[in-house]
Amino acid sequence: MSGTSLDGIDAVLVDLSQPKPLQLAKYYLPFDDTLKNALLALHLPSHNELHQAQAIGNQLARMYAAAVAPLLAQAKSSNKEVKAVGCHGQTIRHCPGLGYSLQIGNAALLAELTGITVVSDFRSRDIAAGGQGAPLVPAFHDHVLRHPDIHRVIVNIGGISNLTSLPPRAATSGFDCGPGNLLMDAWCMQHMGKPYDNNGAWAASGKVLPALLEQMLTEPFFALPPPKSSGRDLFNIAWLQSKLQGNEVAANVQATLLELTCRSIALAIQNHCPGAKEIYLCGGGAHNQTLHNRLAALLPDSSVKTTNTLGMDGDYLEAIAFAWLAQQALHGKPANLPLVTGAKHPCILGAVYRNL
């Protein structure tokens, strides 16, 4: 998995033979600044972008393959023992309203380099059926994190935040809430030269700017009813710059961006997950203690913990989910939730590149 944060590749080797996935090995391969900047550039129209997308897709495939070897070495396994690689690919455009979501990563090359069957392109079929193509992890959350008597909400805070609502004896729902880490990370890099605000310390040093916060919250996306999804096509540094006067103290903007992430998550839970008692965080944002504390303050009627307390590694939960989605594809089972994505019907997701 490599997501909207553009920080690197989360790779995990998972045994899915039991009801609860067993994580056998994990490996993180960071992106360097050159690759990250090239991927950021592909989010906007530019000269020769088709060639750039294909060339960078090949580079990503080689990096994905390079992440497989350490996994197998850790688990003392060979590629012949692995049923499939579930590879999400790197999203460079997410435009479900126009009928597409584009992830690059050359799955055919990845299958060739690893000698393992690859399942990729998970979003296209759902979009073809009238859905958003995202989020896709709620079906996996429903499979492994549901409680028979307690209403749980799983909040994945990556570049974009999304939630899964798991009410007992009722249907699972989920949707993208808004920006997670991506605006905070971009602002931190611009002003501090760091890829992220460690533990939210810089945000904690500033003060929330109420007028800026309210202006950002008027973004129509926040008022849309589910199903809905988003990405860098909407929430990006240009979007943020359009809201600024230009004389704001940088730390105060960071504090306001953290509040925006927390407020949009809290409002989504309050409006669409009534009665939720347990909130579990995963993704990179789960490490941000300032963010965690603020969410707990905004949701006083719920406990706020990380998925690690449930025995599920929050840093690799999304990668585990795509292993499960790949398994669903190979077994010919649907893996989207129409209530989540808005698709007209359940779909088998993913294109399969088989090895002999």
Interval 187-193 mean pLDDT: 97
Using CA atoms of 4, 7, 8, 11 in order, give the dihedral in degrees to the nearest 10: -70
| Helix ranges, the chain (H) | 33-41, 49-74, 107-114, 124-128, 138-144, 182-192, 201-205, 210-217, 220-223, 237-241, 250-272, 289-298, 317-330, 338-341
39 CA to centre of own chain: 16
Tokens, residue 24? 């056998």
Q: Do strands 351-353 and 303-306 pair parallel, antiparallel, or not at all (unpaired)?
A: unpaired
Contact 105, 89 (CB under 8 A): yes
Residues above pLDDT 90, as percent of the chain: 97
Cβ 187 vs Cβ 251: under 8 Å: no
**280: how many CB neighbours lie within 10 A of its CB?**
25
> What is the model's pTM?
0.95
Q: For 114-136, how does the pLDDT look when each residue is reduced to its tens digit (9 = 90+)?
A: 999 999 999 999 999 999 999 99
- The C-alpha angle 329, 124, 99, rounded to 5 degrees, equals 160
Q: Tell which residue, 58, 71, 63, has the closest CA to residue 109.
A: 58
pLDDT of res. 88: 97
Residue 332 predicted with pLDDT over 90: yes
Q: What is the DSSP string of 329-353?
A: HHTT-----HHHH--SS-----EEE
Residue 270's nearest CA partner among 292, 300, 245, 243 is: 300
Q: Which two tokens stand for residue 74?
A: 């850790």
Give residue-wise pLDDT tens across range 287-306. Answer: 999 999 999 999 999 999 99
The pair phi, psi for residue 103, each rounded to 5°, is -115, 135
- The confidence score (pLDDT) of residue 338 equals 97
Q: Reduced to 3 DSSP states, what percent helix, strand and coil does the chain have, rounded to the nearest 5?
A: 45, 20, 40
Mean pLDDT of 233-259: 97
Q: Is the pLDDT of residue 53 over 90?
A: yes
Beta bridge partners of 163: 155, 175
pLDDT score for 356 = 85
Extents of the domains making up the chain: 8-133+316-353, 146-310
Average pLDDT (302-322) is 97
Q: Could you report the per-residue pLDDT of 204-227, keeping only the tens digit for each? A: 999 999 999 999 999 999 999 999
Whole-angstrom CA distances from 130 to 96, 126, 139, 164, 212 are 8, 7, 18, 20, 35
DSSP-assigned letter for residue 97: G
Cα separation, 135 vs 341, in Å, equals 7
- State the CATH architecture for 146-310: 2-Layer Sandwich (3.30)
In the structure encoding, which two tokens stand for residue 229, read together? Answer: 């999804």
pLDDT of amino acid 340: 97
Mean pLDDT of 228-240: 95
Is the CATH number of domain 8-133+316-353 3.30.420.40? Answer: yes
**How many C-alpha atoms does 249 have within 13 Å on its Cβ side?**
10
133 closest CA partner among 88, 181, 87: 88
Same fold for the pair 8-133+316-353 and 146-310: yes
